[in-house]
């Protein structure tokens, strides 16, 4: 299995885009470029039967920087949308070893724990998926599964004080009954999971993963590690760092229309 580690560098100010947030568009571009850059290496390793060492790389936006200060009001709108749960839900077709678990946001929740089982009564659990803390997000790619198998999952919400906010209903999902197809498994650094916009960021990365999994039929599994960075690949601090927003600017925006 090929593992890749990437850094997201964001240098351009956000702009409002009809039908899709600027933040989402930025993350989609980053994720899709990173994934395609490693497919060839993963295929080569699979064909030769060799276990390759992890690949380390970074991706910086090559777009032209706009002059002037970052659009703090646009950034604040992005933040307000994310905090209010107004994000575009991701979609992902089940693969031979993964499926997308997702659920509605629960009021007051600051984190969720995920259970996955092959039994609707949760008599046993899939390895690594009992009380799995997945942070403050409403979607998660469950991976490392058996092909053509029925699964069940549920989540529990917790508030900032750690109080149990209740358990969701049990939801069914199944992996694809096929031995072919690209499988991309993401993992997220704390620079993403601790971001107030974490749900929106992860949702857009998942949407990018869906787009690329549908393009390849080779039985390859790739693990990609995502994180934010405040510096460019040379170590130079970025100027218009996306996400530089204060609670005051969010209040000034109010409820986006």
To the question of pTM greater than 0.75 for the whole model, the response is no
User: Do residues 47 and 169 both lie within one domain?
Assistant: no
Q: Pick from 129, 150, 177: which residue ends a domain? A: 177
User: Do residues 39 and 78 both lie within one domain?
Assistant: yes
Q: What is the pLDDT of residue 180?
A: 95
pLDDT per residue as tens digits for the range 99-120? 999 998 888 888 999 999 999 9
Interior angle at CA 108, CA 106 and CA 112, nearest 5: 55
Whether 78 and 246 have beta carbons less than 8 Å apart is answered as no
User: Do residues 208 and 85 both lie within one domain?
Assistant: yes
Owner of token pair 């790619």: 141
User: Do residues 45 and 168 both lie within one domain?
Assistant: no
Instruction: Report the length, in residues, of the chain.
Output: 257
User: Do residues 143 and 111 both lie within one domain?
Assistant: yes
Return the sign of the alpha-carbon dihedral for residues 58, 64, 67, 70.
negative
User: Do residues 132 and 242 both lie within one domain?
Assistant: no
Mean pLDDT of 165-176: 93
Distance of alpha carbon 147 from alpha carbon 46, whole angstroms: 19
User: Do residues 107 and 164 both lie within one domain?
Assistant: yes
- The domain tally of the chain equals 2
Return the sign of the alpha-carbon dihedral for residues 224, 100, 28, 46.
positive
Record the tokens describing residue 165, joined without a space.
């906010």
Q: Pick from 143, 177, 211: which residue ends a domain? A: 177
User: Do residues 88 and 184 both lie within one domain?
Assistant: yes
User: Do residues 58 and 165 both lie within one domain?
Assistant: no
User: Do residues 201 and 159 both lie within one domain?
Assistant: no
């Amino acid at each position: 299995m090929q593992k890749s580690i990437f850094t997201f560098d964001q240098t351009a100010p956000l702009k409002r885009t009809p039908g899709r947030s600027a933040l989402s568009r930025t993350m989609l571009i980053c994720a899709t470029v990173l994934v395609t850059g490693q497919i060839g290496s993963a295929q080569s390793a699979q064909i030769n039967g060799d276990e390759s060492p992890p690949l380390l790389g970074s991706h910086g936006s090559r777009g032209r920087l706009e002059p002037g200060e970052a659009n703090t009001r646009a950034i604040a709108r992005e933040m307000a949308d994310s905090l209010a749960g107004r994000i575009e839900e991701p979609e992902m077709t089940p693969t031979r070893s993964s499926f997308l678990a997702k659920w509605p946001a629960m009021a007051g929740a600051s984190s969720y724990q995920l259970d996955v089982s092959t039994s609707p009564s949760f008599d046993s659990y899939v390895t690594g998926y009992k009380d799995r803390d997945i942070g403050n997000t409403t979607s998660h790619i469950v991976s490392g599964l058996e092909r053509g198998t029925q699964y069940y999952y549920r989540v529990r919400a917790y508030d900032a004080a750690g109080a149990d906010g209740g358990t969701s209903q049990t939801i069914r999902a199944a992996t694809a009954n096929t031995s072919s197809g690209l499988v991309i498994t993401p993992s997220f650094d704390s620079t993403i999971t601790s971001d107030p916009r974490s749900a929106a960021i992860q949702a857009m990365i998942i949407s990018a993963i869906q787009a690329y999994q549908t393009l390849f039929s080779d039985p390859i599994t790739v693990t990609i590690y995502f994180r934010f960075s405040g510096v460019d690949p040379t170590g130079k601090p970025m100027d218009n760092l996306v996400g530089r927003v204060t609670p005051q600017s969010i209040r000034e925006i109010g409820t986006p229309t």
